[in-house]
Amino acid sequence: MRTRDCKIVATMGPASDPPERLAMLIEAGVDCFRLNFSHGERADHARRMKAIRAAEEKAQRPVAVFADLQGPKIRVGSFVDGQVMLRFGDEVTLEASDQPGDDTIIRLPHPELVESLEKGDILKLDDGKMKLTVTGRNGAQRTARVDFGGVLKNQKGVNVPTRRIPISALTAKDREDLAYALDLNVDYIALSFVQHPEDVREARALIGDRAGIISKIEKPSALENIDEIVELSDAVMVARGDLGVELPPEQVPIAQRKIIRSARAAGRPVIVATHMLESMVEAATPTRAEASDVATAVYQGADAVMLSAESAVGRHPQSAVAIMDRIIRAVEDDEEYWSSLPRDMTPPQDTTADAIALSARHIADVIGCASVVAYTATGSTALRVARERPRCGVIGLT
């Protein structure tokens, strides 16, 4: 039985591919692996899935797997010379086209994006390194002013924090990847760039009961609909990468806490992700700020914390998992953690099942139970008990 409440998610990649490395990651504390469908071929994901299940059987420890769909990542088109220099104060034209652009015109192969842009809208390019403000429209084109300049290369990402983009969270590629991932028997499907509840409903219609849905919260529009999105999802992820581009830096910690509280109120698991131990892509130890970041997520009530590049392409994937494991255990050994949980927890719903789950946690904590056993047909009873965070383990019997 596991002795740690907060789980560790590790992203698969070249650094974690060798079978012996995979076994060491599970031994170090990985509870769930992420297959990132933004990179690699489908055959790579099938090979990794097979390797994970083999390592899981050898370790005699259950390990979950989720497929992370790429989603409708908006990117600029190409340029005649492969890149352009955008200078502060320059005026550029935005146009929906697949043709190469230059230093005066940026082609965006997304007609729905260009059509939706209005004067005053902000575009952040290449993960926020450059910034444009729309100044006007000329037929199907838009003009924009360069507020932050830099070198813009082919196919770099575009974020529009000021506007909800009228596109589905599932692209044609996502639908094909989704069908493939379901055939691999993954446990969860992660939806990228969820903007509104309908995105989750659309995915649910395709997935049915073959896998759970993790909604990645990385758009301001998702925050506006957070409670309904959480209610429709099986779990949520605080995806701080794109969320950190869409929001001002000072708003990201506030958004993280809001998402965690909404998920806990609904009894949904919540994952905190992105740049948790980023320096360990190269360094053997994390910065103290990174250690504090992981600890803060645990104190706030996160059900899992996730490694991305650290385990996928980093030089020290096993050490990153081991250090994350130690940080989580240190927090969960702190009495302040346990005393703060009831204060921060949203009261359960006024139902018999929730009342029983809350009472079970109180009894278990008072008498020091070794575990709480929940008889359940669908797993919801065990999840309700786990939501209350008893100090002992929770066993679900079906």
Do 303 and 221 fall within a single domain?
A: yes
Q: What whole-number percentage of the chain has pLDDT above 70? A: 97
7, 11, 34, 389: the active-site residue: 34
Do 248 and 314 fall within a single domain?
A: yes
274, 361, 381, 384: the active-site residue: 274
Is 47 an annotated catalytic residue?
no
Asked, for residue 76, whether it belongs to a domain, the answer is: no
For the cut 60, the answer to whether the pLDDT of residue 1 exceeds it is no
Asked, for residue 164, whether it belongs to a domain, the answer is: no
For the cut 70, the answer to whether the pLDDT of residue 2 exceeds it is no
For the cut 70, the answer to whether the pLDDT of residue 357 exceeds it is yes
Do 294 and 207 fall within a single domain?
A: yes
Do 63 and 93 fall within a single domain?
A: no
Is 34 an annotated catalytic residue?
yes
Asked, for residue 2, whether it belongs to a domain, the answer is: no
Is 329 an annotated catalytic residue?
no
pLDDT tens for 174-218 read 999 999 999 999 999 999 999 999 999 999 999 999 999 999 999
CATH classification of the domain holding 175:
3.20.20.60
Q: For 42-46, 235-239, 358-362, which range has the lowest pLDDT when averaged over its residues?
A: 358-362
CATH classification of the domain holding 392:
3.40.1380.20
Do 44 and 92 fall within a single domain?
A: no
Do 145 and 119 fall within a single domain?
A: yes
4, 47, 75, 204: the active-site residue: 75
- Closest alpha carbon to 98 in 158, 149, 154: 154
Is 75 an annotated catalytic residue?
yes
What's the pLDDT score for residue 225?
A: 95
For the cut 70, the answer to whether the pLDDT of residue 344 exceeds it is no
What's the pLDDT score for residue 107?
A: 94
Residue 147 banded pLDDT, cuts 50, 70, 90: very high
By the 8 A CB rule, do 353 and 364 touch? no
Q: 10 Å Cβ neighbour count for 185?
A: 11
Asked, for residue 255, whether it belongs to a domain, the answer is: yes
By the 8 A CB rule, do 146 and 130 touch? yes
Residue 348 banded pLDDT, cuts 50, 70, 90: low
Q: How far is CA 371 from CA 8, 27, 303, 358, 390, in A?
A: 21, 23, 18, 14, 9
CA distance 393 to 372: 6
Strand ranges (DSSP E) for the chain? 7-11, 32-36, 64-68, 83-86, 91-95, 105-107, 122-125, 130-138, 141-148, 150-153, 158-159, 188-191, 212-217, 235-239, 270-273, 304-307, 371-375, 393-397
Name the amino acid, one letter, at 215: S
What's the pLDDT score for residue 110?
A: 86
Do 277 and 297 fall within a single domain?
A: yes
* Number of domains present in the structure of the chain: 3
Asked, for residue 188, whether it belongs to a domain, the answer is: yes
What's the pLDDT score for residue 33?
A: 99
Residue 287 banded pLDDT, cuts 50, 70, 90: very high
107, 216, 264, 361: the active-site residue: 216
How does the average pLDDT of the chain come out, rounded?
93
Asked, for residue 261, whether it belongs to a domain, the answer is: yes
Section 54-76 average pLDDT = 95
Q: Which two tokens stand for residue 265?
A: 């109120």
Residue 374 DSSP code: E
What's the pLDDT score for residue 53?
A: 98
What's the pLDDT score for residue 345?
A: 63
What is the residue range of 51's domain? 7-71+170-337
